[in-house]
Amino acid sequence: MTEGIKTVLHPVTDVDKAKEVYTALLGIEPQNAAAYYVGYDVAGQHIGLVPGGASQGMTGPVAYWHVPDIEAKLAEVTAAGATLKDPVRDVGGGRLVATFTDPDGNVLGILQDS
């Protein structure tokens, strides 16, 4: 069982320009604003801007499903036919993320907070 999609990351080429657009769209200032990442928390979701995301293999926005056990969920989806894209990694503060593709090549993410 998942906790649903609570995080969506968007690759951007110009973080300052993107920050202006997303701030206008969301109606709030970002909670995190750094050269490497800008993050907004709004209406129970986290919206992130990833500068240089394309060079990290992000071809578009990636929705992250929050799960209680990332390793178990990754094993479950790959057994069902998904293909691992990026293995589990700690992105700070004990937050674990991984991405995989579905049979049509759509990139999906899973996220576990400790």
Q: What is the CATH number of the domain that holds 2?
A: 3.30.720.120
- Tabulate helix, strand, coil % of the chain (nearest 5): 25, 45, 35
In this model, does residue 17 exceed pLDDT 90? yes
pTM as predicted: 0.86
Q: Are residues 72 and 53 in the same domain?
A: no
Q: Are residues 54 and 2 in the same domain?
A: yes
Q: Are residues 10 and 42 in the same domain?
A: yes
Asked if 50 and 12 count as a contact pair (C-beta separation under 8 A), the reply is yes
Q: What CATH number is attached to the domain comprising 82?
A: 3.10.180.10
Q: Are residues 7 and 31 in the same domain?
A: yes
pLDDT digits (tens, 9 = 90+) for 41-97: 999 999 999 999 988 888 899 999 999 999 999 999 999 999 999 999 998 889 999
Over the chain, what is the mean pLDDT?
94
Q: Are residues 22 and 73 in the same domain?
A: no
End-to-end CA distance of the chain: 17
For 73, the domain range is 67-114
